């Protein structure tokens, strides 16, 4: 039975609820409702003007209602009198077809119809910047190879430990934190879970990191490539598919420890990668990470081509261990719900068509990628949007209403960028 929010408010001392949803651009929106109103809000939902968010609606549309999912309740660890709940969006008595959490729930239901459940873990990288500037907050964090730098990590102990303690309290099972490959960049890992749980936690994690950083006078950013010469922020996802408590991706007889089911699912992800990139790499800036030049540290750690391998981080898909694969495509800007929805849609299509990923390619793609015939990832957001448009399987599986709304807004995004006059153009073209 679902949790009763009225009772939870009384028992846990919750004074306010954030009734929250993530729109198509990954923006977290909310209304703050006093606990005295949560009974009605749970039934009728909190009202929003859809056009005021990125959901491809019009000002003439009726009220959009956000109905909280009580099972997603999280008390803000840094302000426990506030309870955050993920909400599902409704309009005119129907679920909003393009709402990201709804898109994911439909994919989960489609998997469930086949007796399958996808479990995932995400690795969210982020930078800690000075509050009001485009600059790394720690002036001493300047090493060329700054990955795992203990000194730089411990100078941020207060923030990192506060976030990790919070995850501990929330029962997420955090297990490690580190300084990542770029100066000012960090990563925090917690246990994998069912796709919807991971998506809600991923959405909340971003909000939590930003909030706690702000409380410490800093700014956290998940922007894919905030500094041209440094490694960007990825959001690697570890994927497995389960049936009745058994991991179907595991095969102890296989050289890499992965089953035919894993290969077919992964084959689907590889087959649809160009279109998938429109979701996993959703911003103009995203393509400066996956198609980036070599960074100060010596590697971008991001893929450029659609290939897979064993335990080799230069490919788009890696098999780090038996029973799962890691997809290294998505970046910090990815919508937590659309990441999971896209992977599930592509993977299920792969299973349905017994997609063959071919043999693993165990070469260093950064140095020898040019010697093999491999499909390249889209060069920019426009290429990715066109690939998604052309991918009928992905589009119809995720839903035409969603695809149409997403593509319309993202094309507007691209058009705004294309109209923008950059300093690079002025520098290189004034003397034309
Ligand atoms: Mg990492």
pTM score over 0.75: yes
- Kindly state the tokens that stand for 20: 């929250």
- Location of structure tokens 């071919």: 358
- Kindly state the tokens that stand for 415: 């058009």
What is the Å distance from ligand 1's center to 311 Cα? 14
What is the Å distance from ligand 1's center to 125 Cα? 6
3-class DSSP string for the chain = CCCCHHHHHHHHCCCEEEEEEECCCCCEEEEEEEHHHHHHHHHHCEEECHHHCCCCCCCCCCCEEEEECHHHCEEECCEEEEEEEEEEEEECCEECCCCHHHHHHHHHHHHHHCCCEEEEEEEEEEEEEECCCCCECCCCCCCCCCCCCHHHHHCCHHHHHHHHHHHHHHCCCEEEEEECCCCCEEEEEECCEEHHHHHHHHHHHHHHHHHHHHHCCEEEECCCCCCCCCCCCEEEEEEEEEECCEECCECCCCCCCECHHHHHHHHHHHHCHHHHHHHHCCCHHHHHHHCCCCCCCCCCCCCCECCEECCCCCCCEECCCCCCEEECCCECCCCHHHHHHHHHHHHHHHHHCCCCCCCCCCCCHHHHHHHCCCCECCCCHHHHHHHHHHCHHHHHHHCHHHHHHHHHHHHHHHHHHHHCCCHHHHHHHCCC
What is the Å distance from ligand 1's center to 122 Cα? 10
pLDDT tens digits along 58-109: 999 999 999 999 999 999 999 999 999 999 999 999 999 999 999 999 999 9
Which CATH architecture is the domain 5-95 placed in?
Roll (3.10)
Q: CA-CA distance, 92 to 226, in Å (whole number)?
A: 41
What is the Å distance from ligand 1's center to 153 Cα? 14
What is the Å distance from ligand 1's center to 356 Cα? 28
What is the Å distance from ligand 1's center to 53 Cα? 31
pLDDT (tens, 9 = 90+) of the chain, 432 residues, equals: 678 999 999 999 999 999 999 999 999 999 999 999 999 999 999 999 999 999 999 999 999 999 999 999 999 999 999 999 999 999 999 999 999 999 999 999 999 999 999 999 999 999 999 998 899 999 999 999 999 999 999 999 999 999 999 999 999 999 999 999 999 999 999 999 999 999 999 999 999 999 999 999 999 999 999 999 999 999 999 999 999 999 999 999 999 999 999 999 999 999 999 999 999 999 999 999 998 889 999 999 999 999 999 999 999 999 999 999 999 999 999 999 999 999 999 999 999 999 999 999 999 999 999 899 999 999 999 999 999 999 999 999 999 999 999 999 999 999 999 999 999 999 999 999
User: How are beta strands 79-91 and 16-22 bridged, if at all?
Assistant: parallel
What is the Å distance from ligand 1's center to 299 Cα? 12
What is the Å distance from ligand 1's center to 364 Cα? 18
What is the Å distance from ligand 1's center to 131 Cα? 23
Ordered by start, the domain boundaries in the chain are: 5-95, 106-426
What is the Å distance from ligand 1's center to 143 Cα? 17
Which CATH architecture is the domain 106-426 placed in?
2-Layer Sandwich (3.30)
What is the Å distance from ligand 1's center to 146 Cα? 12
- Kindly state the tokens that stand for 145: 């190879």
What is the Å distance from ligand 1's center to 233 Cα? 8
What is the Å distance from ligand 1's center to 300 Cα? 11
What is the Å distance from ligand 1's center to 282 Cα? 19
What is the Å distance from ligand 1's center to 255 Cα? 25
Decide if 5-95 and 106-426 have a common fold. Answer: no
What is the Å distance from ligand 1's center to 193 Cα? 19
CB 354 within 8 A of CB 264: yes
- Location of structure tokens 């598919």: 241
What is the Å distance from ligand 1's center to 276 Cα? 21
């Amino acid at each position: 039975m679902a949790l009763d929010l009225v009772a939870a408010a009384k028992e846990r001392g919750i004074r306010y609820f954030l009734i929250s949803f993530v729109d198509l651009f990954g923006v977290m929106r909310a209304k703050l409702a006093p606990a005295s109103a949560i009974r009605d809000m749970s039934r009728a939902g909190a009202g929003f003007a859809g056009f005021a968010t990125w959901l491809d609606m019009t000002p003439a549309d009726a009220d959009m209602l956000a109905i909280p999912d009580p099972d997603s309740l999280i008390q803000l660890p840094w302000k426990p009198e506030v309870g955050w709940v993920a909400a599902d969006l409704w309009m005119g008595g129907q679920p909003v077809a393009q709402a990201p959490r709804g898109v994911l729930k439909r994919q989960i239901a489609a998997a469930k119809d086949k007796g399958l459940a996808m479990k995932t873990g995400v690795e969210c990288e982020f930078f800690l910047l000075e509050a009001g500037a485009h600059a790394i907050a720690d002036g001493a964090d300047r090493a060329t190879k700054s990955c795992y730098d203990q000194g730089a990590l411990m100078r941020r102990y207060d923030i990192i430990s506060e976030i990790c303690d919070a995850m501990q309290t929330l029962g997420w099972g955090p297990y490690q934190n580190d300084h990542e490959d770029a100066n000012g960049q960090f990563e925090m890992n917690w246990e994998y879970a069912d796709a919807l749980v991971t998506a809600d936690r991923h959405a909340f994690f971003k909000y939590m990191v930003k909030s706690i950083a702000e409380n410490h006078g800093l700014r956290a950013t998940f922007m894919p490539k905030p500094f041209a010469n440094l490694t960007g922020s990825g959001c690697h996802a570890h994927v497995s598919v389960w049936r009745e408590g058994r991991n179907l991706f595991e095969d102890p007889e296989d050289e890499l420890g992965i089953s035919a089911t894993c290969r077919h699912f992964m084959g689907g992800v590889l087959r649809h990668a160009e279109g998938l990139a429109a979701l996993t790499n959703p911003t103009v800036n995203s393509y400066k990470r996956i198609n980036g030049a070599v960074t100060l540290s010596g590697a971008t750690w991001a893929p450029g081509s659609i290939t897979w391998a064993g335990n080799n981080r230069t490919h788009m898909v890696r098999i780090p261990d038996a029973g799962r694969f890691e997809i290294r495509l998505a970046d910090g800007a990815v919508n937590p719900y659309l990441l999971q929805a896209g992977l599930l849609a592509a993977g299920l299509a792969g299973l349905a068509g017994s997609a063959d990923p071919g043999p693993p390619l165990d070469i260093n793609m950064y140095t020898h990628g040019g010697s093999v015939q491999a499909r390249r990832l889209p060069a920019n957001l426009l290429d990715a949007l066109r690939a998604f448009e052309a991918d009928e399987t992905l589009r119809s599986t995720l839903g035409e209403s969603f695809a149409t709304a997403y593509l319309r807004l993202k094309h507007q995004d691209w058009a705004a960028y294309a109209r923008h006059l950059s300093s690079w153009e002025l520098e290189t073209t004034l003397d034309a």
